[in-house]
Amino acid sequence: MSSGHGSLQRTPLHDWHIAHGAKIVAFAGYEMPVQYTPGVLKEHLWTREKAGLFDVSHMGQAFLKGADHAATAAALERLVPADIAALQPGQQRYTQLLDDTGGILDDLMVTRSARPEHDGKLLLIVNAGCKQADYVHIAARIPAGFELVEATQLALIALQGPGAARVVGALMPQASDLPFMAARFCAFGDTEVHISRSGYTGEDGYEISVPADKVVALWDALASHPDVQPIGLGARDSLRLEAGLCLYGHDIDTTTSPIEAGLAWSIQKRRRLEGGFPGAARIQRELAEGPLRRRVGIRPEGKAPAREGTEIRDKSGALIGTVTSGGFGPSANGPVAMGYVAAAHAKSGTPVDLMVRGKPLAATVVDMPFVPHRYVRKT
């Protein structure tokens, strides 16, 4: 990635964004497009209806390498609570990097290569704002004989929405029958790319890792389809919020455990029983007894959104929690929010008040997602 103004970095697609009317903002150390000419609302709805194209090259990509899969999986399982050993070739899994108290240092995707010659090699995709700290943390804690290699030569893009499979399939037919959370290498012309059936919008879609010097050509090929529009960070945020998905640094951080965050589903049975990861005692206790607080969805009444940091109070006026993400949900057709409340108030249907500009705004605790997920789990 090349440098931008001051200390900000630029992705290989920066010039494309500028040429196509993007509004650029600073985000996680990069100059990134927050929206294009249509604006956040239209970009959001386009993604839900057709296919949205996202530049996520600011994310960190790295390879953890060891002698074989069993060894590399065991090394990573010292740091994360997911069952990495059970990953099949070409399978992907979501997990969290934990500190010694069970707090979340970052959330990440882990993929086992589908190729036999890559046995012992795991692809890690981490958040942009955490990647350097993540790499230091991992490198310091893996045993001798393992290697963590930053993949700075790779860019990352995502195509999300109900039209994504048709668009990608026209360029790379091998990707059409990928199930959800699976990955394989595909050919785009004479370029080899690594593509997974995944994303962070709640829609069907793909994330594509591609050599940085080839990403503009692939982006152009995807963007030329009439059902595809480029989408900025603004709509990316509203899409993931409607999908009930956490944003690191907002909905999860070192003060939250995976159980409080509603991410128990990402910890498989063997790891729950055996432990062996940082903060295991706390997480096992919260699994058995329940956490003291829980992440919940919140639907405010009326049209006023509740932003991050808004106090959540019960109907007697007692403080019971805080909003961590909130805004207008274009597909939900109203304001949506998520946050943490004391466990006694976490049941769906519980009435609460949100303190907006010093006044209580009536709201209700609701189940998430706010908009149904449309992942393709089977082909």
pLDDT confidence of residue 345? 98
The predicted-structure confidence for 287-342, as pLDDT tens digits, reads as follows 999 999 999 999 999 999 999 999 999 999 999 999 999 999 999 999 999 999 99
Domains and their CATH numbers in the chain: 2-59+153-242 (3.30.1360.120), 292-366 (2.40.30.110)
Find the helix packing angle between 233-242 and 40-49, rounded to 10°: 60
pLDDT computed for residue 378 by the predictor: 66
| CA dist., res. 123 & res. 103, Å (int) | 23
**Beta strands 121-126 and 183-188: pairing type?**
unpaired
- Residue appearing with tokens 């603004």: 234
Residue (of 124, 63, 70) closest to 97 by Cα position: 124
Partners of 61 in beta bridges: 125
Q: What are the residues whose beta carbons fall under 8 Å from the beta carbon of 316, sequence distance 6 or more?
A: none
Position 62 scores a pLDDT of 98
Q: What is the pLDDT of residue 1?
A: 53
Give me the pLDDT at residue 5, please.
Answer: 52
Closest to 270 in 3D by CA, of 107, 68, 81: 81
Beta-sheet strands, E only, within 127-215: 147-150, 154-160, 183-188, 191-196, 205-211
Q: Give yes or no for residue 379 having a pLDDT over 50.
A: no
Q: Which two tokens stand for residue 265?
A: 């589903």
In the predicted model, what is the mean pLDDT of residues 201-223? 98
Closest CA to 112 of 131, 94, 93, 138: 93
The model carries a pTM of 0.96
pLDDT of amino acid 377: 82
Helices (H), the chain: 14-19, 40-49, 69-77, 131-141, 164-171, 215-223, 233-242, 269-274, 280-289
Mean pLDDT across the stretch 329-356? 98
C-alpha distances in Å from residue 87, one per residue of 70, 119, 121, 355 = 10, 12, 12, 45
Name the percent of the chain lying above pLDDT 70. 98
Model confidence at 3, pLDDT cuts 50, 70, 90, reads very low
Averaged pLDDT of the chain: 97
